């Protein structure tokens, strides 16, 4: 290999490493995407973790050091999602009986440093107006910042026919989206009510964003009311991702200025529940 080609290869590898470790990657959405949302009883399914934007994501392999909780809950109770370190899918579970299954992943905090422009853009995109106002009050808008963040992802799977008696439930995550109705029972003209909680209490005036894989750029948004609730009319079938972010001043001694919690909820609406276009 010539010296010029070797130099070009080294430059390309350096750019790839920088891009892969970019703080923007740390600020992307994270969601659970199982190998199927409608497993048959007895079926083994893979639980994939994804990090990306607009429902285009890269695999997030299982990393035991990052996992605070990785669980599945059904009518029989809660059990861990098993898996092997470094693999994708990050976990596996067997569907033992029909019903609605709630999969949850809660990560330990990670640290990232963001430039002022990137952090300000992130605050704007996630509707964190109060944080932006506090930074302006402190004359920190132009400052880089250090942030700790953790993920609180959930997914709803349905085995067998849907039932209004089966629904999402709280897993006790720091920030959590809870569907207050089984989304698989929705008709085309009905809303999906959701609740956002922080430390098991309602989180008011938080932005919830919903997007569909078929057209992820056409996002639906709503702010929570004083009870932490919002409603969404979901206009099409397919994979839906709902997400919300909550950011607070970091605790003294945490070597960060802000701490963020990212919540997500995924499910896959069948054709009959989608609103006619």
- Which residues pair with residue 263 across a beta bridge? 152, 244
Decide: 96 and 45 in contact? Cβ < 8 Å. no
Q: Which residue has the tokens 């302006």?
A: 136
CA-to-CA distance for 147 and 109, rounded, in angstroms?
A: 10
- Which residues pair with residue 262 across a beta bridge? 151, 245
Q: What local confidence, expressed as pLDDT, does residue 180 receive?
A: 97
Annotated domain spans of the chain: 23-273
* Regions of the chain short of the pLDDT cut 50: 1-27, 274-277
Q: What local confidence, expressed as pLDDT, does residue 253 receive?
A: 86
Q: What local confidence, expressed as pLDDT, does residue 272 receive?
A: 62
Q: What percent of the chain has pLDDT over 70?
A: 88
Decide: 262 and 30 in contact? Cβ < 8 Å. yes
Q: What local confidence, expressed as pLDDT, does residue 271 receive?
A: 77
């Amino acid at each position: 290999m010539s010296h010029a080609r070797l130099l070009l290869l080294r430059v390309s590898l350096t750019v790839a490493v920088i891009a892969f470790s970019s703080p923007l990657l740390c600020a992307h959405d994270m969601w659970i995407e199982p190998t199927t949302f409608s497993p048959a009883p007895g079926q083994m399914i893979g639980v994939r973790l994804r990090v990306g934007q607009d429902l285009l994501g890269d695999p997030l392999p299982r990393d035991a050091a990052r996992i605070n909780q990785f669980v599945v809950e059904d009518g029989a109770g809660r059990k861990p999602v098993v898996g092997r370190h470094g693999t994708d899918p990050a976990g596996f579970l067997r569907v033992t009986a029909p019903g609605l299954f709630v999969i949850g992943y809660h990560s330990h905090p990670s640290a990232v440093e963001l430039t002022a422009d990137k952090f300000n853009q992130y605050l704007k995109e996630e509707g964190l107006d109060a944080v932006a106002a506090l930074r302006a009050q402190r004359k920190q808008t132009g400052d880089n910042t250090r942030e700790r963040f953790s993920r609180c992802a959930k997914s709803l799977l349905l085995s067998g026919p849907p039932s209004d008696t089966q629904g999402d439930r709280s897993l006790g995550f720091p920030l959590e989206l809870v569907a207050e109705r089984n989304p698989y029972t929705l008709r085309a003209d009905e809303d999906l009510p959701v609740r956002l909680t922080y430390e098991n209490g309602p989180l008011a005036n938080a932005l919830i964003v919903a997007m569909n894989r078929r057209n992820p750029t056409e996002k639906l948004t709503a702010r929570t009311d004083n009870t932490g609730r919002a409603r969404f009319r979901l206009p099409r079938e397919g994979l839906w991702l709902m997400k919300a972010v909550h950011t607070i001043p970091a605790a003294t001694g945490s070597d960060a200025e802000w701490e963020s919690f990212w919540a997500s909820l995924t499910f896959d609406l069948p054709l009959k529940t989608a609103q006619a276009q």
